[in-house]
Amino acid sequence: MRDRECARKRAVELVGRMTLEEKASQLKYDAPAIPRLNIPAYNWWNEGLHGVARAGVATSFPQAIGMAAAFDKELLHKVGEVIAVEGRAKYNTYSSMEDRDIYKGLTYWSPNINIFRDPRWGRGHETYGEDPYLTGELGKAYVQGLQGDGEYLTAAACAKHFAVHSGPEALRHEFDAEVSKKDLYETYLPAFEKLVKEAEVEAVMGAYNRTNGEPCCGSELLMKDILRGEWGFQGHYVSDCWAIRDFHTKHMVTNSAEESAALALHCGCDVNCGITYLHLLKAYQDGLVTEEEITEAAVRLFTTRFLLGLFDDTPYNQISFDKLECKEHLEVADRATAESVVLLKNNGILPLHKNELKSIGVIGPNANSRVALIGNYHGTSSRYITLLEGIQDVVKEGTRVYYSEGCHLFRDKVESLGSRQDRISEAVLVARNSEVVVLCLGLDETMEGEEGDTGNSYASGDKVDLLLPEPQRELMEAVLQVGKPVIVINMTGSAMDLRYADQHAAAVIQAWYPGARGGRVVAKLLFGELPFSGKLPVTFYRCTEDLPPFEDYSMKGRTYRYYEGEVLYPFGYGLSCQDVQLKCVELGTENVRETQVMQKDLSHGIELLVTVENKSATAACEVLQVYCKELDSVLAPPRARLCAFERVKLEAAKEQQFSIYVKADAFFVVDEEGKKQKDGKRMQISVGFGQPDNRTKELTGKESCTFVVERLDQ
């Protein structure tokens, strides 16, 4: 196990030999070398959201929201391990050449564990979805995989953006996210708390916005009282990039750069991504900060560097360049893609039978798009396989694959001199000449993403609504009117209005941004070489008209836990092409019967034994989901909430039993002061392959096993 106390002692000794100017210089993200102490330059800024990013070739995984759809903790742990190994391979090679540029260090500003509370938020595809429990469990697994469990950190993870941050992007530099204590502790903080307490995440990054009046990178409440006080965080804190400058230029809570630097440092921000800490020495001269505060920040930072073994000979120093995109890592990426894709509708057309298919049409602006494969914060792949290329590779020899772009992603023409919708006639011809059509629509990182990092200037990376761009809607109608079976594949990082596709297409698939080589895996899913098994980590609403205003951070009316209307596709939903049935659930020594009332002590959690039968002739994957609802508590969310999940593999025509554990903290509610408590005697528990709601039952034809526990530990 890592010895933080020893690392800190070494940091105290080293920092104690520095001058004040040298200590202050180390608090910038691009920390310079101190040759007299044999300290090389170090750039703290690196990205690893779904693969090592922005520093050349690396294994490309599906965007984070896609990996969340896998509902697979073991997968996220493995992805973290791969990223750490490839990051070490890069660091070892680059540092041996004295290349210590940005994106070449071992401190990864990932994962993004903000709650995707509103489908319009452009950066939502960087997250693990809308549920605090799912986000916390997946984030914990990723951090543990990335950081490893050896004597040294393999790499350092960073939980961002702390806290209460999810748009609007256009307002983030001056926005004040006002939130109740209940929503703060029930929704916005649990994932951060889990990563700090259980995963021992090495860093936390503050958000751009204010929370209840305080800038998140200079917040007494968030940074001192909660993070380091209540949770005992021992790592380092980093500002989002140029966020401290916003204190005096946008938020207007300080009057100068010196005051902004002092506020951030006073609250415990150790690394400034930006340039405001260049004013720290002037702030010191003006009496705004103390040398002790500067020293403590430097000590925390060098503690991390010692924990990474950057001044030692570690086993990780031997990780070589050939680990990048190696066969084993690419196999993990393929697995991640296969588990992430969600089958939303299937009238029986899937899987396609390649031996019977003589022609297939592939249409749409995302069908042959490399950009739509990768999402934002991505690295470079040595090979890209689009959906069109994947289908061309998978079909049997002699099957004709017709292709048309159909329309531009968002403009009204493909060719600048062409007429409006200049590719739609070609798309119709492709559909007419094909037995079945795969219509690939959606967005890409130029249309949904981060403010300042996107081509979507009119919404700063956010969406104004859930509609596909008008050219794509017209293309979809034209292709569907031909009368051939159409499989609509949506490649976005967020929920869209797919009502027309749901009503008229033979099948609907959510493929997210599936990774650089994801097109081949999606094609294998279409042809039954791999099983569909993804589940939605976000709710797909019918429209935005009955959602609260985007700027409203109250959870009322948001996400599956608080939304009261009828949705198009529920959180936790996803179809399979195999017939998998829930046979029975056991609690302790008893078989659970529907609506049964049982008495149990819940203070230590409960273990459920779930028997599942795969009635199909092919293997299947499913996600067992457990939802809890306090029946007697006015403090409980109106809908049952996810409290446990487990991805399971099922052999063909076999019945198998699986254990799934529900932790004791699932049986607490959060009061108006943000405190956890037991409230109410009866707890409803539902076990199944999705939520225990009417829409899931309608779409799947399956019911959860639901029973009630009267708690004895009240």
> Which residues have a catalytic role annotated?
240
Alpha helices in 148-183 (DSSP H): 181-183
Q: What gap in Å lies between CA 116 and CA 161, rounded to an integer?
A: 12
Instruction: Report the Cα 531 to chain-centroid distance in Å.
Output: 22
Please, what sign has the CA dihedral across residues 70, 71, 74, 76?
positive
Closest Cα partner for 455 from 441, 463, 464, 445?
A: 445
Q: What gap in Å lies between CA 578 and CA 512, rounded to an integer?
A: 22
Q: Which two tokens stand for residue 33?
A: 């070398």
Count the neighbouring beta carbons within 10 Å of the beta carbon of residue 8.
18
Give me Rg for the CA atoms of the chain: 26
β-pair partners for 625: 645, 688
**Phi-psi group of 539: left, alpha or beta (phi > 0 → left; psi -120 to 50 → alpha; rest → beta):** beta
Burial class for 382, CB neighbours closer than 10 Å (0-12, 13-18, 19+): middle
Beta-sheet strand order (sheet of 590-591)? 590-591, 580-587, 606-614, 655-662
DSSP state at residue 670: E
3-class DSSP assignment, residue 575: strand
DSSP secondary structure string for all residues of 320-332? -GGGTT-HHHHHH
Only one residue has tokens 């698939």, namely: 509
Query: What residue type is 597 in one-letter code?
Result: V
Q: Which two tokens stand for residue 246?
A: 């916003």
Q: Which two tokens stand for residue 477?
A: 């109608």
Note whether 97 and 372 are within 8 A (CB): no
Count the neighbouring beta carbons within 10 Å of the beta carbon of residue 133.
19
Helix (H) or strand (E) holding 243: none
Please, what sign has the CA dihedral across residues 60, 65, 69, 73?
positive
Helix (H) or strand (E) holding 442: strand 436-442
* Residue 361 phi, psi dihedral angles, 5° rounding: -100, 135
342-346/507-510 β-pairing: antiparallel
**Cβ neighbours for 296, distance < 8 A, ≥ 6 positions apart:** none
Half-sphere exposure of 240 (CA within 13 A, CB side): 23
**Cβ neighbours for 231, distance < 8 A, ≥ 6 positions apart:** 193, 196, 197
Count the neighbouring beta carbons within 10 Å of the beta carbon of residue 272.
29
DSSP state at residue 64: H
Q: What gap in Å lies between CA 223 and CA 232, rounded to an integer?
A: 11
Please, what sign has the CA dihedral across residues 687, 689, 691, 697?
negative
Helices 4-15 and 291-307: crossing angle in degrees, nearest 10, is 130
